[in-house]
Amino acid sequence: MKKYLSLLVVAILAGVFTLGAYKLFIESEPVIVAQSEVKPNFIPTNYTVTNTKNNTSALTSSIDFTYAAEKTVNAVVHVKQYGITRNPRNLMELFRNGGAKERRIQGAGSGVIITEDGYIVTNNHVIDGATDLEVTLNNNKSYKATVVGTAPQSDIALIKIDTDEKLAYIPFGDSNSAKIGEWVLAVGNPFNLTSTVTAGIISAKSRDLNEYDDNIQSFIQTDAAINPGNSGGALVNTKGELIGINTAITSQTGSYVGYAFAVPSNNAKKIIDDIIEFGDVQRGILGIRGGTINPKAIEEYDISVSQGVFVAFVEENSGAKKAGVQEGDVIKEIDGLPIKKFSDLTGYVNSKRPKDVIQVKVLRNKKELILPVTLSKYEIQKYNIDDVGVEVMNPPKDYLKKFNVDHGVVISKALSSRMQRYNLEGLIISEIDGKKVKNVLEVKSIVDNKFKEEDITISLIGRNGQKREFVFQ
């Protein structure tokens, strides 16, 4: 008993000692923080508008997307494409019976009705390689569709369905007037979920996804959710106007992660009008080579501004040359539209046609000049035959005589590592699929009209004049 009593006394004394130490050494010297160092800076998060009549403030009403959704959802269609492939599904199919057999494949995307009589704009990659196209409206009615024309370089295609009823359609808006931060809706069929509407804002404009490609694009970037199946669908403003054709996403997973891109409506409308009126795309060019202003250009050309397009070279006989554009000029505006980077310039010029006159404001020797430039007609000079793995160009004068032929195009570059082993640069392609080719435009026409899975046969003229045929699958 005495043993337990002594333990209890020890415990009590220990507790008293601990409490006393805390009071003496800790609680008696608290850490003081100056209030001025931690005082938060509170900022109201509501947005108010001052009423100038009675000097009162009121909260702005919330954005309502229902009008735009109701106006557009019935004009966005589900596009299904059917094609033929011979790609093997496994190693057994690859090596057995001479390779894989033909089989039917199906893909899907979206499209936007732009006229009440059934013209539909979509992405070229949605219908590329299709043998049959089926379009399903929001009311579940399905129609066979035909391809009117394509612009693979801009990833735009025009298709049409025939129907007696007047269809709902989306009117074109002015994509140049769209503002960063503006609310938009993406309407489409992601993952075959028909008639899906998502909302977001315009995150950026004149976005170029191919920085090192000669074919500089100018996309609208949005954070409205876009996923596989949305391609070819509509990007609309809150008025229900079409300001873009949803085309691509940037993702490491293949699904939406916050970045999506659309072809501006002004560019798409111009392409569609060209296809209907001329049968192909009429491209006007300014006739300059240059780039976005960067520190190196500022130093080399002694440029006094940090934004714009510097002119490094002016092509002979071009509209720019005739108008007086000079090397070293900085292009700041076109038709009053600010030009901050090269994709701003190409995006606007691509919405114009040959012989259109644009007002180009340049900075030269720290003085601004406005030069009226008549756009020249774009003539394709080079073309990539991707299935073969080569780039071709029009032959220089008298070049074909060396090979004793009167037609053909020159291989200017081997694109794939496999083709680079054969030293093909400078050789002549005289025929493709048995058809004679005289220039790059004819090559492009033949290749663009092939189905995606079709073989391609080229006739190659060697340095010794010998002609050989090669088949590429």
- Write out the two tokens for 313: 């070279």
Radius of gyration for the chain, computed over Cα atoms and rounded to the nearest angstrom: 32
Catalytic residue among 117, 125, 433, 445: 125
CA distance 224 to 466: 56
CA dist., res. 392 & res. 70, Å (int): 48
> How distant, in Å, are the alpha carbons of 137, 172, 290, 428 from that of 390?
41, 38, 26, 12
Q: What's the sign of the alpha-carbon dihedral 460, 462, 466, 468?
A: negative
CB 102 within 8 A of CB 141: no
Residue 106 forms beta bridges with which residues?
A: 82
Longest dimension (CA), the chain: 123
> For residues 45 and 261, what is the distance between their CA atoms, to the nearest angstrom?
30
Name the active-site residue from 110, 203, 231, 430: 231
pLDDT for the residue numbered 97: 54
Q: Does residue 49 sit in helix, strand or coil?
A: strand
Q: Which amino acid is at 103?
A: R
Q: Which of 110, 154, 155, 206 is catalytic?
A: 155
- Residue by residue, DSSP assigns 356-425 as -EEEEEEEETTEEEEEEEEPEEP---EEEETTTTEEEEPPPTT-GGGGT-S--EEEEEE-SHHHHTT--T
DSSP for 135-171 reads EE-TTS-EEEEEEEEEETTTTEEEEEE--SSPPP---
Q: Are 240 and 202 in contact (CB under 8 A)?
A: no
- Written in H, E and C, the secondary structure of 334-361 is ECCEECCCHHHHHHHHCCCCCCCEEEEE
| Domains and their CATH numbers in the chain | 75-161 (2.40.10.10), 175-278 (2.40.10.10), 284-377 (2.30.42.10), 382-472 (2.30.42.10)
Total-model pTM = 0.71
Give whole-number Cα distances, 188 to 6, 252, 253, in Å: 83, 22, 20
CA distance linking residue 394 with residue 412, whole number of Å:
9
Antiparallel, parallel or unpaired: β 183-188 and 234-237: antiparallel
Give residue 90's pLDDT.
Answer: 52
pLDDT at 344: 94
177 assigned to active site: no
Residue 120: name the closest of 128, 112, 132 by CA. 112
Phi, psi angle pair for 230, to nearest 5°: -80, -20
* 125 is an active site residue: yes
Average pLDDT of adjacent 10-residue blocks, the chain of 473 residues: 50 52 41 32 35 40 86 96 66 51 75 97 92 94 95 92 96 97 96 92 90 66 94 97 94 82 96 92 90 83 88 90 94 96 93 96 94 90 87 85 89 84 87 90 83 83 86 82
